[in-house]
A = this chain, B = another copy of it.
Amino acid sequence: MKIGIVGGTGDIGQGLAHRLSHNHEIFIGSRDKEKACIVSECTVKTLYENGIEAKCKGATNQEAVDFGDVIVLSINYRHLKSTLDSLTGFENKIVITPINPISKSDCFYYDPPKEGSAALSLKELLPESTRIVSAFNNIAANRWKQLDTELDYSVAVCSDDAEAKNIVMGLVNEVSNLNAVDAGPLQMSSIVESITPLILNIAKYNEMKDVGVRFF
């Protein structure tokens, strides 16, 4: 599969590239193509040292969108609108959002836009034909970074497009020990996104690290 990662030089982008590029062709996108190329070369080198041939390239965010059948929006919610305003070509593509709108005062709290969730706001920001799927929301950034540790979490996947959801669930299940669960329509993404501030608070109040979630 051809996967383009917008904002691919961040933790989740690097993590996904590392964990999927033996099986899929990946464009790591960035506003700064040079940075993307460095991250890509680093991924290729690390996997090569482990005897794995990685199909991974550095690119601009636009090149990542143009390349991918599946696009991952690995960006902070604060930059979502401005990033998407600068990009085109999302028609008919599967777009994965791991984005969580979070604010912080004494504790972390869920701070969704008026549409109800970051995923639902994409319906306004992207063409109608874009196949929006929320996934990978509740995995701590640090866990993506730890490239040599397994991820033993559940990943709740939401979408109104059953076929796109199935494709993304298949991808999720290829990443480390992640276990995709169908969490229903895109409307449910607000609950899944809100679990991230909850687990950040659980980590904070219980002196735990990189808390994740499993449904069983």
Interface residues of A (CB under 8 A from B): 106-107, 109-110, 156, 181-185, 187-188, 190-192, 194-195, 197-199, 201-202, 204-206, 208, 211-216
Among B181, B187, B211, point to the contact of A206 (Cβ < 8 A).
Answer: B181
Q: A184-B205, A192-B198 are in contact. Are A216 and B214 (CB under 8 A)?
A: yes
Q: Does A182 contact B156, Cβ atoms closer than 8 Å? A: no
* B198 contacts A191, C-beta separation under 8 Å: yes
Chain B residues lying within 8 Å of A202, measured Cβ to Cβ, are 156, 181-184, 215
The chain B residue with its CB closest to the CB of A198 is B191
Copy number in the complex reads: 2
CA distance A109 to B117 in the complex (A): 14
User: Of B110, B182, B201, which contacts A184 at CB under 8 A?
Assistant: B201
Q: Are A201 and B213 in contact (CB-based, < 8 A)?
A: no
Once bound together, how far apart are the Cα atoms of A181 and B192, in whole Å? Answer: 19
Partner of A188, one of B183, B190, B198: B198
> Are A107 and B211 touching (Cβ within 8 A)?
no
Query: Are A110 and B215 in contact, CB atoms less than 8 angstroms apart?
Result: no
Whether B215 contacts A213 by the Cβ 8 Å rule is yes
**Shortest Cβ distance from residue A72 to the other chain B in the assembled complex, whole angstroms:** 22
Which residues of B lie under 8 Å from residue A192 when comparing CB positions?
198
Residues of B within 8 A of A156 (CB): 198, 202
Whether A211 and B201, one on each chain, are in contact in the complex, defined by CB atoms closer than 8 angstroms, is no
* Bound Cα distance A192, B55 (Å): 41
